Amino acid sequence: VAATAAAVAVVVAAAVIEVKDLPRLGVGCGFRPPFRSELLLDPSAVDFLEITADHYLDAGPAKQRELEALARHFVLIPHGLRLSLGSAEGIDEAYLRSLARLIETVDPPFWSEHIAYTRAGGFEIGHLTPLPWTHEAVEVLRRNVFRVRQIIDRPLILENITYDFVPPNAEMNEADFLNEVLEATDTGLLLDVTNVFCNSRNHGFDPLDFLDRLRLDRLVQIHFVGVEELNGRFVDSHARPTGPEIFNLIDALAERTPIRAATLERDEELPRFAELRPELERARAAVARSWS
Ligand SMILES: [Fe+2]
């Protein structure tokens, strides 16, 4: 038993996050198939690509070939959607094994998931659902991340999501919750700046105060994309070009801490890739400043 415990400790220690040891990747975008030919014609347009892990789990031959072609030209960062780290019932082991196989194939410097749940009582909810900001939720995340680390020996970073209403029975504010989660799970932070902006406008707080409360020494990566206002609410529809309100927030973050990777997360109403270049360049300037 002692030998097994020691072996587990070694595995866990290997995956513990040391933000300072992670590479500075630069600026990339979420890979979407319509961008494929433009990206492969000029791979220097991005420093890395984020791939949606779920699109390649147990992939058929066509997706497999796509993944191999991308891996030949780009650093790939897998971004998971359905691991459901916040599920009190624990991790779906079959899903975890598929994810582990993908991450082993891709061999990324780190990978990411969300501070959320997508499954409850065996039922797939179909979207990222916010957790209550409670110590119990932190403990669920700690347990689940511990299990994941036994199978996936690669640094994990966790992303903040948007919420339509402040979860009831909160024992702390959102920033303190995120800090506690990062500490308890020993993960890095993937800060979705657009989500911070949407939440700040929809729930009436100052996004700069929020940045000042966060444990930014754990920041590894950011997500950014434009916002959309629908019926008086800001939504992260991933369908709009990044505007000045988001770049201002990225600049404010860059003044506070180095940013290792920045991903433009455009999913909907995709333009030609060439049209995203000014946004990537604008982010590149902020990322470079964050290191000066
Ligand atoms: Fe995001």
Instruction: Name which of 232, 160, 163, 218 is nearest 192 in CA terms.
Output: 160
Residue 219 pLDDT grade (very low, low, confident, very high; cuts 50, 70, 90): very high
Between the CA of 36 and the centroid of ligand 1 the distance, in Å, is: 21
One-letter amino acid for residue 285 of the chain: A
Instruction: Name which of 278, 262, 284, 269 is nearest 192 in CA terms.
Output: 262
Between the CA of 191 and the centroid of ligand 1 the distance, in Å, is: 8
| Element containing residue 27 per DSSP (H, E) | strand 26-30
Between the CA of 236 and the centroid of ligand 1 the distance, in Å, is: 9
- What is the DSSP secondary structure assignment for residue 267, as one 8-state letter? -
Instruction: Name which of 100, 66, 104, 63 is nearest 83 in CA terms.
Output: 100
Between the CA of 225 and the centroid of ligand 1 the distance, in Å, is: 9
Of the listed ranges 9-18, 136-145, 162-171, the least confidently predicted one is 9-18
> pLDDT tens-digit profile of 229-258?
999 999 988 999 999 999 999 999 999 999
- What is the DSSP secondary structure assignment for residue 131, as one 8-state letter? P
Between the CA of 78 and the centroid of ligand 1 the distance, in Å, is: 13
Between the CA of 223 and the centroid of ligand 1 the distance, in Å, is: 5
> pLDDT tens-digit profile of 40-88?
999 999 999 999 999 999 889 999 999 999 999 999 999 999 999 999 9
- Over 90: is that where the pLDDT of 8 sits? no
Report helix angle 93-106 to 61-73, nearest 10: 40
Express as a percent the part of the chain with pLDDT over 90: 88
Between the CA of 192 and the centroid of ligand 1 the distance, in Å, is: 5
